[in-house]
Structure 1
Amino acid sequence: MPSKPHTLSALGLISRLSRAPEEHKGHAGKVILVGGSAGMAGALLLAGNACLHLGAGWTILEMLDPASAHADHEQPELMIRLANTDPKQSLKQSLPDVLAIGPGLGTSHFATQWLKACLESEKIPLVIDADALNLIADSSELLNALQLRNQHYPGQTVLTPHPGEAARLLGQLISDIQTDRVSAVKKLVSLTQSIVILKGQHTLIAAPDRDILQCEQGNPGMGTGGMGDVLTGSISAITAQGVRHHLNLWEASCVAVQLHASAADSLMQKGTGPIGLTPSETIIEMRTLLNNLL
């Protein structure tokens, strides 16, 4: 990978998601998102809402918190269920097209069981975010499982760390990450052999044997809780559609990053933000931009 990143320019790929008249939900893919431990259900709901509004055919939430594992009356389209105590069997029965784990996951033993099952899943794209990254950072066993998955299924796993999670994965200080973000993303790719999205100002996207790309869009209004969950859901939705519309995980990740940042910029230009810009508003603006680009 070269030292200087190239500018991310991925929105032209959205035209591949255009749907023929006879298409049905099966053509848009089934996504399972895992997370939502006690007190953090909102993170998984945000990821689920992004996934739903960005076009996934099915959006299923495996909610770890029993108190939150019920239908959302404001968004009844989300299929919310209590996370199964046998994650491997649950995934085997559900047959998802895309898996995502991390939003509101927590670091419990149950969370670790689900992460292990996701890392052992075969062939399908996997998005790893938030506490799932922290669990990997703290466990050589989980890191080895991630590396092994990428050996067997290269290009099928994306990590979405913010600088704090990146620092934890690399055993560095956050200031080290921010001082040389290009070096940090290279190290993350080398360590994990994954596609890596290093979030922050001018988000970087890198992967083995690919050029580093830098997103020029985005603004400080995105620095609020829940924006990363929205990105996770967006990557998942676009990847799920890409299974049958010829977008791989790398391309879908690039589209999602740029669409996410562009939506935040669009809202700011309309007078919404940067202060008080919310992830929920960004989801709706992303949907508008996506459909305008088809």
Structure 2
Amino acid sequence: MTSPPSKLDTFALAKLLKRGTSEHKGNAGKALLIGGAPGMAGALLLAGNACLYLGAGWTILEMLDPASAKACPESPELMIRLASAQIDEVLEITKPDVIAIGPGLGKSALASILLMGVLQYPSIPLVIDADALNLISESKDLLSALQNRNQQFPDQVVLTPHPGEAAKLLGIATENVQSDRLATLEKLITLTQCIVVLKGQHTLFGSPKHPALQCQEGNPGMGTGGMGDVLTGSIAAIAAQGVRHQLNLWESTGIAIQLHATAADSLVRQGVGPIGLTPSETILEMRSLLNKLL
């Protein structure tokens, strides 16, 4: 019988993000986030705001929606560009420390080109979410590219599926995912050789090199559109800082998962939700909690 997962407990690691007096934005890393197809720009903006407020030195958005690929007055700190099919050139010029792809990405031909380009970019941490996961589930070439990257650069990709996305990756029903979440996590790790975050009640977290952990925090108010985008941006932010603060992708992801759920619980205790709890409110609470942990 498979033993139950241990409790996720990462907050002691957050102290490594404390900044020295002489640090600059280069020490906090450069995060590149890709997504925001027409009608879904908000998903990428939520991920970008989470990345910004959780401390990345630069947050750059490659936006697929031409109408939204412009400065955002509410968040002028975000560097927003129109996504280009010349992804190899973009990555060579940008030289990101971490890439997140998926929030609002859609499943267009351009989305597939961008995802393949990211999977072929070496070495740095990748966060793969939402439609990027759906594209991988529908393409043997993308799945093969993901597996090949993990063979060359192990422990440098994290997938963050919700139950529906997990079901598509494994070719099973969502009900089967939910009936045995731990077995599903193990199957996803075996298939992809990635760090995997299986979102949902008591989010599960594991990798080829680490036994499964379970997040004890979180509440039903998190079941709203955009919460997953916030988690993606948060992982990217902490991983970007981790490059120069001695935190690897596994550790950075664990901090982000627990911080995300704890912030939502904190807001509910304050009377904000669970009904009507928003991703944007959660971002600000995450920033407050993170700074208290330093």
Q: Which TM-score applies when normalising by structure 2?
A: 0.99
In the alignment, is the contact (CA less than 8 A) between 1:47 and 1:233 conserved in 2?
yes
Aligned to 1:212: 212
CA distance in 1: counterparts of 2:25 and 2:3, whole angstroms: 42
Secondary structure at 1:33's aligned position in 2?
strand
Aligned to 2:62: 62
Secondary structure at 1:76's aligned position in 2?
coil
CA distance in 2: counterparts of 1:247 and 1:84, whole angstroms: 31
CA distance in 2: counterparts of 1:6 and 1:211, whole angstroms: 8
CA distance in 2: counterparts of 1:261 and 1:95, whole angstroms: 31
Q: CA deviation at 1:85?
A: 2.5
Q: CA deviation at 1:3?
A: 3.5
CA distance in 1: counterparts of 2:146 and 2:87, whole angstroms: 17
CA distance in 1: counterparts of 2:49 and 2:189, whole angstroms: 29
Q: CA deviation at 1:84?
A: 1.8
Aligned to 1:45: 45
Aligned residues: 294
Equivalent residue runs for 1:26-175 within 5 Å: 26-175=26-175
In the alignment, is the contact (CA less than 8 A) between 1:3 and 1:182 conserved in 2?
no
Aligned to 1:21: 21
Q: CA deviation at 1:4?
A: 1.6
Q: List structure 1 runs of 4+ shifted beyond 4 angstroms.
A: none
Q: CA deviation at 1:254?
A: 0.3
Structure 2 unaligned blocks of 5 or more? none
CA distance in 2: counterparts of 1:32 and 1:3, whole angstroms: 38
CA displacement 1:225-283 (0-9 Å, x = unmatched): 00000000000000000000000000000000000000000000000000000000000
Aligned to 1:279: 279
Equivalent residue runs for 1:253-272 within 5 Å: 253-272=253-272
CA RMSD of superposed structures (Å): 0.9
Aligned to 2:229: 229
Structure 1 unaligned blocks of 5 or more? none
CA distance in 2: counterparts of 1:214 and 1:85, whole angstroms: 38
CA displacement 1:17-76 (0-9 Å, x = unmatched): 000000000000000000000000000000000000000000000000101100000110
CA distance in 2: counterparts of 1:236 and 1:134, whole angstroms: 20
Q: Which TM-score applies when normalising by structure 1?
A: 0.99
Secondary structure at 1:212's aligned position in 2?
strand
Q: What amino acid is the match of 1:99? A: I
Q: What amino acid is the match of 2:26? A: G
